[in-house]
């Protein structure tokens, strides 16, 4: 998995490509932790090039959303493909995460 970071006027976008799984989820967790070290931040996760997400990836997203809520920050997911959206729907994450 590759992560590209773009900072723009208080919003940080992490663009992911490849697979978010047990092997790569730690890397995403580290990047999200770096973003949330700032005060009040807006985090956007761009999944346009993300091919696959496993339960380990879902766990990282859940932890990130909880951290965002604690910090009064915002987090949203954009451009997820149909198979990733289906995973969010089947697991009930559509009611927990802001998915556009």
Give the mean model confidence (pLDDT) for residues 79-94.
96
pLDDT of 98 strictly over 90: yes
Show Cβ contacts of residue 10 under 8 Å, excluding neighbours closer than 6 positions: 40, 41, 42
Q: What's the rounded Cα separation, in Å, for the pair 53 and 50?
A: 8
Ramachandran class of 79: left when φ > 0, alpha when ψ lies in -120 to 50, beta otherwise: left
**What's the pLDDT at 32?**
95
Show Cβ contacts of residue 83 under 8 Å, excluding neighbours closer than 6 positions: 51, 52
pLDDT of 9 strictly over 90: no
The owner of tokens 């976008």 is 13
**What's the pLDDT at 81?**
97
Query: 73, 23, 3: which is closest to 43 by C-alpha?
Result: 73
Q: What's the rounded Cα separation, in Å, for the pair 3 and 91?
A: 24
The owner of tokens 């490849």 is 18
Give the mean model confidence (pLDDT) for residues 68-95.
95
Give the mean model confidence (pLDDT) for residues 50-59.
96
pLDDT of 39 strictly over 90: no
pLDDT of 38 strictly over 90: no
Lowest mean pLDDT across 19-28, 30-39, 54-63, 70-79: 30-39
28 close to 3: Cβ distance less than 8 angstroms: yes
């Amino acid at each position: 998995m590759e992560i590209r970071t773009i900072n723009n006027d208080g919003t940080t976008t992490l663009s992911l490509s490849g697979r978010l799984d047990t092997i790569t989820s730690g890397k995403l967790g580290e990047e999200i932790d770096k973003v949330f070290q700032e005060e009040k931040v807006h985090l956007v996760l761009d999944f346009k090039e993300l091919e696959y997400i496993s339960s380990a990836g879902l766990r990282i997203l859940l932890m990130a959303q909880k951290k965002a809520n604690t910090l009064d920050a915002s987090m949203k997911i954009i451009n997820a493909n149909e198979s990733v959206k289906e995973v969010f729907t089947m697991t009930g994450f559509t009611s927990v995460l802001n998915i556009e």
